[in-house]
Amino acid sequence: MALNLLIADDEYFIRQRLKKIIPWTALNLNFIGEAENGMEVMELLEQHPVDIIILDIKMPKMTGIQAAEQIHEDYPQTKIIILSGYNDFEYARTAMRYGVTDYLLKPVDTLVLKSTLEDCIEKIALSKKQHRQIEKLNHYEKCTALTNVQNGSLDIQGLYTNYPEFLQITHALYIGAFVFENTEMAVHRLITALRLEGFQCEYTQEAEYIYVLQIFFTARQASHHIGSVLTEFVEKEKHFVFLSVGNLFSLTESWNPYFKRVLHGLS
């Protein structure tokens, strides 16, 4: 996936030169916009997701250091490359405390810029990989807790203690899913479709082709809309799909009978 890059410098010709010498296609970068002061940088960040900012250290209205501090606080995933003159080296060092990835001296050398951007892109890729690993671990731990409630080895109060967000949940239901090919990818598409509609859900793999999804509801959330999401999912899938939809149950009930009923229905 292409990364979004923003250029911020109060000098028009510097911005135009940077746009010209960046190998956009080779580095798989999107030009998301340009700014001539720190205030414009913050406005653009509110409007677009930005992965990398090339940020001049001295700009009117809000300096590069002030902008870097604000970006570090509000958009910590955004990487910053500072532009500075030779005499601004101490300013550049100060900016490093605000998560600045690197700094470039003006006039910017084409090869140095390319190398700096490559390093920045590599750091973003590593950060995303680490984030996915953390998400995977968190998913595993949460699903283990939910399985323990389902099989009776953890009571509901234990779930509330470990995951206070479930205090807002009143009901749940299970959905069994059998997809003959590319099972995991298909289930992830279903999970994504449900989450896009505002449903909180988790899933476990019960066999090679069988997954069980658990959908959670707050007191104000209706469950009937799930039917249309499931219908649309089945219609779009190219492979054989079988779904078994269980009954809505209170979180304070025993979960196990509903879980077994869904697996039985899927069989």
CATH architecture assignment, domain 3-117: 3-Layer(aba) Sandwich (3.40)
Q: Computed over its alpha carbons, how large is the radius of gyration of the chain? A: 25
Confidence of residue 246 (pLDDT cuts 50, 70, 90): very high
Per-residue pLDDT tens digits for 169-222: 999 999 999 988 778 888 899 999 999 988 999 999 998 889 999 999 987 777
Q: In the predicted model, is pLDDT for residue 12 greater than 90?
A: yes
Q: Give the pLDDT score at 88.
A: 63
Confidence of residue 109 (pLDDT cuts 50, 70, 90): very high
Q: Give the pLDDT score at 89.
A: 64
pTM score, whole prediction: 0.72
Check the CA dihedral 113-119-123-124 and report its sign.
positive
Q: In the predicted model, is pLDDT for residue 234 greater than 80?
A: yes
Domain range annotation of the chain? 3-117, 169-266
The rounded distance, in Å, linking the Cα atoms of 55 and 187 is: 42
User: How distant, in Å, are the alpha carbons of 4, 187, 205, 209, 238 from that of 182?
Assistant: 31, 9, 13, 9, 10
Q: Which residue carries 């250029």 as its tokens?
A: 7
Q: In the predicted model, is pLDDT for residue 99 greater than 80?
A: no
Task: Give me 263's structure tokens.
Answer: 């697996």
Q: Are 53 and 41 in contact (CB under 8 A)?
A: yes
The rounded distance, in Å, linking the Cα atoms of 194 and 190 is: 6
The rounded distance, in Å, linking the Cα atoms of 147 and 149 is: 5
CATH of domain 169-266: 3.30.70.260
The rounded distance, in Å, linking the Cα atoms of 169 and 163 is: 11
Confidence of residue 114 (pLDDT cuts 50, 70, 90): very high
Q: Give the pLDDT score at 219.
A: 75
Q: In the predicted model, is pLDDT for residue 81 greater than 70?
A: yes
Q: Give the pLDDT score at 238.
A: 82
Q: Give the pLDDT score at 87.
A: 64
